[in-house]
Chains A and B, each alone.
Chain A
C-alpha cells in the first residue's frame, strides 16, 4: 500500500508525464519530501519557505488541506492526495 498522488498538468514535467504517482509519509510534509526524492524538483514547486505555495491547492481524500493543518495534515497508506493549480485573483 502507498499514498496515491494526482499531479496537475503543469507539474507533470517533474513526473515524466505521469498523472499519478505514489509515495509514503505520515504527514503531507513528509509525503512531499518522499515525492521529491523520486521526482526531483517537485517540492520546490509546492513548498516555499516551509509553507505550501499559493499557486497550488492540495486535497487529502477530498479535504482541502488549508482547513486540516496544511503540511502537518496526517496521511496514511491508502489515502488519495490531489494537487491542483490555484485559480484565484482580483
Chain B
C-alpha cells in the first residue's frame, strides 16, 4: 500500500497537468528504509515527449547525491501518461531500475478526471497496490 499526504498527491497531479501533453516525472523522497514519502521533488523530463520520460542526467546525479547526503532515498517514482491509462507500459517495466520504489502513474488523458494509481515493479512483474491519501491533521 502507498500512503501519501494530500499535499503531495495534489502536487503530483498539478505537475502532470502542467506538463500535459508531455509526460511529467519526478520522485517523492523520504528517510532511508522507512517507506515514508515526505519530500516532493519534480524532475525535468529530458525527453520532453508525450510518449516517453527520462530524468535529465545531470539533475538526476544531483538528486541522488543530495539524497545520499541527507540519508534519504527515492520512495516514489511518478510519471504521467497523457493519452493512455495509468498503467505501466512495456518500456516502463523494462526500465524500472528503482526496484524498491512505488511506481505512481497518473493519467491526464481526461481533461477533468485524473487517474492516480500505484504499482510495484520487481523483475518485470507488475503488482498494483492501494493508494491512501491522508489529509493533514488539523492542529488545535
Contacts and interface: CB of A to CB of B under 8 A. Distances in A.
Interface of A: 6, 8-10, 19, 54-57, 59, 62, 64, 66, 82, 84-90
Given A87-B54, A88-B55, A89-B52, A54 B73 contact: no
A62 B32 CA distance: 24
A87 B57 CA distance: 10
A87 B54 CA distance: 6
Chain B: interface secondary structure?
mixed
A84 B99 contact: no
Interface string B80-114: 00000000111111111111100000000000000
A64 B57 contact: yes
Contacts of A10: 97-100
Interface string B4-38: 00000000000000000000010100001000000
A56 B57 CA distance: 12
Contacts of B90: 90
Chain B interface residue number, banded: 20 to 34
Contacts of A6: 68
Interface of B: 25, 27, 32, 47, 51-55, 57-58, 60-61, 64-65, 68, 73, 77, 79, 88-100
Contacts of A85: 97-99
B61 A87 contact: no
21 contacts: A9-B73, A9-B100, A10-B97, A10-B99, A10-B100, A19-B68, A55-B97, A56-B97, A59-B57, A64-B58, A84-B97, A85-B98, A87-B27, A87-B77, A87-B97, A88-B47, A89-B54, A89-B94, A90-B53, A90-B89, A90-B91
Given A84-B61, A89-B89, A90-B51, 12 more contacts: A10-B97, A54-B95, A56-B97, A66-B57, A85-B98, A87-B77, A87-B95, A87-B98, A88-B52, A88-B95, A89-B52, A89-B92
